[in-house]
Amino acid sequence: MSITVTPLHATFAARVEGADLTQPIDEATADVLRDAIDTHGVLVFPGEKLTEDQQIDFANLFGTLDVRNGIIQTGIKQRISERLVDISNIDDKGQLLDRQNRRRMANLGNQLWHTDASFKATTAKYSLLHAHTVVSEGGETQYADMCAAYDALPQKMKDKIADLEAEHSVIASRASMGFMDFSDEERAALPPQVRPLVRELPSGRTSLYLASHASHIIGWPIPEGRMLIRDLMEHATQREFVYTHNWEIGDLVMWDNRRTMHRARPFDESEARDMRRATVMDPDWQVSRHELASTG
Ligand code: OGA
Ligand code: MN
């Protein structure tokens, strides 16, 4: 396969053409794509139209997939394979979800800047989102380059945050938008996690590891830590660090959750938007310094 990789932004994100993801990918091509995601942090593959199995097979080239990773588990009939996350506003019969529907309201949280699964015991390395149905206006996905954002911080701030850790909780991020309707079962399955604020990546670069799920800084007064997190989030999502993807049916966008944050933009929910996400886990990055310290 002859692959072309074209940058889409000054610091990150690229479009990949010439890879037919419906067909098995040979090892040489897989290596080119692994290098490309390492270099660019976001890869856009236009016009692919994959079945669920084809999307899963492609995602498996990059690591082990997370299974059953929707945050709403109680009282829901799954619409798609349990190996994919349902990022849609429709039910298993293809009907638009009711305005009050719990999955719809929890999914609205995707409009907050975040990185996937920062709140889970095993975080996400890559996400691969595939568009089955798109809306006529809005519904873009925006990405922020957290390495460029880190590099641009004043040295004083880099020193201040070097050893800090934040608590990440999806219960907290949804509560910040007024969604508190988690069952006891869901709450028990989603305990908070402690994560460093600054990450060394295998590429040798450093990123800010942030998300709306980050509620406070460990060991700091809650308001002080929350204000620092807000300040860093504002810094990292300035226009110069952001790439906006306008979806077409068949697009597959892959991103590195260690290197980027992302968010969905609003759209008119009288239209269906059907997206399905494969999530490649990051099992090498599970234990925080805080957990290590407290367990001796
Ligand atoms: C996701 C996500 C944003 C969007 O799939 O993880 O946050 O635009 N999606 O749907
Ligand atoms: Mn997401």
Residue ranges of domains in the chain = 4-283
Q: Assess whether the C-beta atom of 106 lies below 6 angstroms from ligand 1.
A: no
pLDDT, one tens digit per residue, over 244-270 is: 999 999 999 999 999 999 999 999 999
> In terms of residues, how long is the chain?
296
Alpha-carbon distance 217 to 18, whole Å? 44
Return the sign of the alpha-carbon dihedral for residues 193, 194, 199, 200.
negative
Structure tokens at 20: 């037919």
Q: Assess whether the C-beta atom of 275 lies below 6 angstroms from ligand 1.
A: yes
Alpha-carbon distance 149 to 259, whole Å? 10
Q: Assess whether the C-beta atom of 87 lies below 6 angstroms from ligand 1.
A: yes
Q: Give the C-alpha distances (Å, rounded to integers) separating 186 from 171, 259, 279, 284.
A: 9, 28, 20, 25
Buried b (16+ CB within 10 A) or exposed e, 213-228: bbbbbbeeeeeebbeb
Residue 151: enclosing H or E segment and its boundaries?
helix 146-151
Q: Assess whether the C-beta atom of 264 lies below 6 angstroms from ligand 1.
A: yes
Alpha-carbon distance 254 to 289, whole Å? 29
Structure tokens at 270: 């009288």
Residue 279 is predicted with a pLDDT of: 97
Q: Assess whether the C-beta atom of 44 lies below 6 angstroms from ligand 1.
A: no
Q: What is the pLDDT along the chain (296 residues), one digit of tens a residue?
A: 689 999 999 999 999 999 999 999 999 999 999 999 999 999 999 999 999 999 999 999 999 999 866 777 677 788 999 999 999 999 999 999 999 999 999 899 999 999 999 999 999 999 999 999 999 999 999 999 999 999 999 999 999 999 999 999 999 999 999 999 899 999 999 999 999 999 999 999 999 999 999 999 999 999 999 999 999 999 999 999 999 999 999 999 999 999 999 999 999 999 999 999 999 999 988 656 565 555 43
Residue 55: enclosing H or E segment and its boundaries?
helix 52-60
pLDDT, one tens digit per residue, over 9-39 is: 999 999 999 999 999 999 999 999 999 999 9
- Contact 260/118 with Cβ under 8 angstroms? no
Phi/psi at 290 (5° precision): -60, -45
- Contact 13/143 with Cβ under 8 angstroms? yes
167 closest CA partner among 217, 233, 220, 123: 217
279 closest CA partner among 166, 119, 156: 119
Q: Which amino acid is at 103?
A: R
For a mutational test of ligand 1's pocket, the pick from 141, 263, 271, i.e. the residue with the most ligand atoms closer than 8 A to its C-beta, is: 141
Looking at the domain 4-283, which fold is it? Answer: Double-stranded beta-helix (3.60.130)
- Contact 39/173 with Cβ under 8 angstroms? no
CA of 84 to the centre of ligand 1 (A): 12
Alpha-carbon distance 148 to 242, whole Å? 10
3-state SS, residue 165: strand
- pTM, 2 dp: 0.95
Q: Assess whether the C-beta atom of 107 lies below 6 angstroms from ligand 1.
A: no
For a mutational test of ligand 1's pocket, the pick from 129, 248, 271, 279, i.e. the residue with the most ligand atoms closer than 8 A to its C-beta, is: 129
User: Which ligand ends up closest to the CA of 134?
Assistant: 1
Q: Say how many C-beta atoms besides its own lie within 10 A of residue 181's C-beta.
A: 13
Q: What radius of gyration, in Å, describes the C-alpha atoms of the chain?
A: 19
